[in-house]
Structures are given as structure tokens and as C-alpha cells.
Structure 1
């Protein structure tokens, strides 16, 4: 019997995130129909973050990627890409997490929390922590 997980990504990406990275994210989130030409089908065999309308998570799956105003500087408004997704995953798919983590880690704006995963009935989280363009998963209680 398979285990099921809630997988959440919640972080800001740099406003200068390359368009091809944003296109790949949009495809994974179900916001784009065509697979980007730059996307390696071996590294990204199927959409990982597209909401399932029949999700078993309370409130369902969600997916969002939008350019947001996050403040002001001396030269004007400051923007970043807000990424938020929450999906119901099978344990067999957890190996694919690295595809998303590798894609976004170099572009995450602030070090620290970037999401988590948890077995659907568990209270323990594995937190995705971003640091210096990379990531680590840490157990949290």
C-alpha cells in the first residue's frame, strides 16, 4: 500500500529568474499547456505541481506563480515571483522532488523556509530549507 504526502512549496523567486525557468514552473503548475522546448523529459517526465481537482487534501490542491510587489527601494517598486503550491503526492513520486528543488533553489530570494512535505496523517514535517542557492530537507516536529 502506498503512502500519500502533502507537498508544499512556498517561497519567493528573484524577479530576474530566467524566463525558461519560469516556463518550466508554469508547465509543472499546469499554467501552460505545451512542454517547454528547453525541458529535459528525463529530468521532468510529467507535471509535478498541477492541481488535481480530485485531490484528497482538505481544501484541495493549489498552484500559483505570480509576480508580486514586495516593497520599495530608492528607485521604485521591488518585485519577486511568488511561488505557492500544495499537492497530494504518492510516495513513489517523492524522488521527483529533486527536479523542482534543483530548478528553484538558485533563484530563491531569502534563505530559510521554502516549503515542506509530510505524510498525510502525520504531524512531523520535512522542511525544505534554502541556503546560498541550494537546499536541504530538515525534520521538524
Structure 2
């Protein structure tokens, strides 16, 4: 029997994030149908952040990428707000590193980037971004 996980990714990508990265994110979210040119099909086999309309998560899956105004005092007028909440099988969890590695170099603010947890586990593993890399802590 497979384990199931709630996977949440939430961060701001810099406004100057390359279109190639934004299109890869859009494809993973199901916002565009075709795999972007140049996205390695062996590494990005299928859209991993695509919301499932029959998700078992309370409230369902969520997928959003939008350009948002930001805190001007911090020096960023705009950024790309990303929010994804999905229900993953344990066999898919290896793909999480691929998604986080795609995002990490473009994350605007270091720190919290979401979490994952086994569906019956009350303690999540927190995802973090710092200096263009990713991390996870229990």
C-alpha cells in the first residue's frame, strides 16, 4: 500500500525570473498544455503541480502563479507569487527535488518555502530556500 503526502510550495519568485523557468512552472501547474521547449523530458516527466479535481485533501488541490505587487520598502515592486498544494503518492516524492531545484535560484526571499507531510502525520517537514538552494527540516 502506498503512502500519500500533502505537498505545499509557496514562495515569491523574482520579477526577473527567466521566461523559460516561468513557463516550466506554468506547465507543472497545468496552466499551459505543452511541455516548454528545452525542458528535459527525462527530468520533468509530467506536470507535478497539476491540481487533481478529485484530490483527497480537504479543500482540494491548489495551483496559482501570478505577478503580484510587493513591498516597495524591501526594494521589490513586483514578484511572481507561487502557491501549490497537491496530494502526492510516495513514488512521486523524488520529483519534489526536481521542482525545488527549478525554483530555488529564482526565489526572492530566503526562508520558508512550504512543507510536505504524510497524510496522517501531524508534523510536517518544512521546505526552505536560501542562497539559490533548497533545504528541508523536521
| Fold shared, TM-score > 0.5 on shorter chain | yes
- The answer to whether the aligner puts 1:82 opposite 2:86 as a matched pair is no
- Structure 1 residue 21: Cα displacement: 0.1
- The gaps in structure 2 that reach 5 residues or longer are none
Q: Paired residue for 1:24?
A: 24
Q: TM-score of the superposition, structure 1-length normalised? A: 0.94
CA offsets, 1:21-71, max 9 Å, x none?
Answer: 000000000000111011100110001001000000000000000000013
User: Are positions 1:103 and 2:102 aligned together?
Assistant: yes
Q: Does 1:34 align with 2:34?
A: yes
Shift of 1:121: 1.3
Alpha-carbon distance in 2 for matches of 1:123, 1:130? 23
Q: Post-superposition, which runs of at least 4 consecutive aligned residues in structure 1 deviate over 2 A?
A: none
- What CA distance in whole angstroms lies between the structure 2 residues aligned with 1:28 and 1:80? 19
Q: Secondary structure at the match of 1:85?
A: strand
Query: Quick one: distance in 2 between partners of 1:102 and 1:72?
Result: 27
1:72 Cα deviation (Å)?
2.6
SS at structure 2 position matched to 1:128 = strand
Q: Which residue does the alignment assign to 2:5?
A: 5
What corresponds to 1:115 in structure 2? 114
Question: Deviation string for 1:78-134 (max 9, x for gaps)?
Answer: 000000000000000000011101100000111110011000111111111111000
Unaligned runs of 5+ in 1: none
Residue 126 (structure 2) aligns with: 127
1:53 aligns with 53
Alignment partner of 1:137: what SS?
Answer: strand
